[in-house]
Amino acid sequence: MLSILFSENFVLIEIIFVLTVLISMFFLINSVIQKKLHKRNRLYEGNRKLLESLIEISDCILKIENAEELFKLIIEKAVDIIDGAEKGSLMIINDDNKFEYKALVGFEKDIMDLKIDLEDSFLYRIGEGKINNCSYIIEDVEEFDKRVMDYNEYEKVRDSDFFNTKTAISAPIIIDDVLYGIINVDSTKKNAFKKDDKIIMEYFAKQAGTVIRNHQLVEKLVYLSQYDKLTNVLNRGYFEELFQNFFSKAERYNEKFALVIFDLDNLKTTNDTYGHEVGDQLIVNFARGMKEKIRQSDIFGRYGGDEFIAVFFETNYDNIEKKIDSILEEFRRNPITMNGNELFIEFSYGVAHYPDDSVAMNQLIRIADDRMYQHKQRVE
């Protein structure tokens, strides 16, 4: 009887043990599955944010007017796509191999004046001098910065919020296989970032480099469409566009201005005697000298060949003549020296006044052009 009872209890204990093991295994497997699902969902969410951010940044290339706006957008999106990121910064390396802050999220503006040597950066130190497309997680930001920062630079930001970050991810921006800058995202919490965040940051930084490069190309194309390549003054098309706007404003508000056409007198002789390279230098020096002498509110451009055109606002007959005479005198006092020879910049000019000479834009240009040729004939 006792043996039967003992046997039944033993079987019951075995059953309970097996059930306990099975239940434990169930919870263990479920925990693993949940972790994997959480990781997958987290990675999916990160990839979704990444894709949306890159699309938004790419869509803004033609709308953003300057690089600073683009940098700001990039770092805002970097902070947004990385879970746990609270702050961020984007730095660009300068000609002295120092990183300069160009955009911040969550930091005080004081650190914008801070410059960090390439050798003191996260990427350089952790990568042991080798910087490629890899990003790194820094677990103790404050200790790292205190250890490597220059004392004077440290003092600049000692009392700011620069050191309240605990963890950071640092990723390089590479353009045309050359280090261009760094994107950092930061958290005030320890162990805030995981391996998946590092992978996402690497990809984001790589695409950010492509976006910056494309924006540079767009800026260059826009510049070439508006400015003369040789002299870097307004080209004819863009000058006429701006002139049309200013002309409409003058009509509306009864403003006065003088339109002046300039023609270099000795360019052909210079080209024939010294070659076109020296002739180009004559054109460049004339354009540079004119830009230095006119106000920012006035407009000046190359009209074609050796002709230039300018609009001087709120001026009268006496003032414009005095201004041009002073420019001529300045060029006479400062000749160009080429191979031991002095070349003087000489020009003829014609002036047309709005509204005294005409209230029609094309007519003003024609009047100024005629007067310029009359002036040229007199000096010849």
- Digit-coded pLDDT (tens) for 80-100: 989 889 999 999 999 999 999
pLDDT for 110? 80
Model confidence at 331, in pLDDT bands (50, 70, 90)? very high
Is the pLDDT assigned to residue 16 strictly greater than 90?
Answer: no
Q: Is the pLDDT of residue 251 over 90?
A: yes
> What phi and psi values does residue 102 have, to the nearest 5 degrees?
-115, -25
Instruction: Report the 3 state secondary structure along the chain.
Output: CHHHHHHHHHHHHHHHHHHHHHHHHHHHHHHHHHHHHHHHHHHHHHHHHHHHHHHHHHHCCCCCCCHHHHHHHHHHHHHHHCCCCCEEEEEEECCCCEEEEEEEECCCHHHHHCEEEHHHCHHHHHCCCCCCCCCEEECCHHHHHHHHCCHHHHHHHCCCHHHCCCEEEEEEEEECCEEEEEEEEEECCCCCCCHHHHHHHHHHHHHHHHHHHHHHHHHHHHHHHHECCCCCCECHHHHHHHHHHHHHHHHHHCCCEEEEEEEECCHHHHHHHHCHHHHHHHHHHHHHHHHHHCCCCCEEEEEECCEEEEEEECCCHHHHHHHHHHHHHHHHHCCEEECCEEECCCEEEEEEEECCCCCCHHHHHHHHHHHHHHHHHHHC
Q: 23-44, pLDDT tens digit by residue?
A: 454 444 445 444 544 455 555 5
pLDDT of residue 340: 78
On the question of pLDDT at 260 being above 90, the answer is: yes
At 111 the pLDDT is 83
Q: Cis peptide leading into 355, omega within 30 of 0?
A: yes
The model's pTM is 0.74
pLDDT digits (tens, 9 = 90+) for 31-78: 544 454 445 555 555 566 666 766 777 777 777 878 999 999 999 999
How confident is residue 338, by pLDDT bands cut at 50, 70 and 90? Answer: confident
pLDDT above 90 coverage of the chain, percent: 53
pLDDT tens profile 101-122: 999 999 888 888 888 889 888 8
Task: Name the residue with higher pLDDT: 240 or 379.
Answer: 240
pLDDT tens profile 156-180: 656 666 667 889 999 999 999 999 9
Could you tell me the domains of the chain? 57-224 (3.30.450.40), 236-379 (3.30.70.270)
Classify strands 307-313 and 136-138 as parallel, antiparallel or unpaired: unpaired
Which residues touch 157 (CB under 8 Å, ≥6 apart)? 110, 111, 114, 163
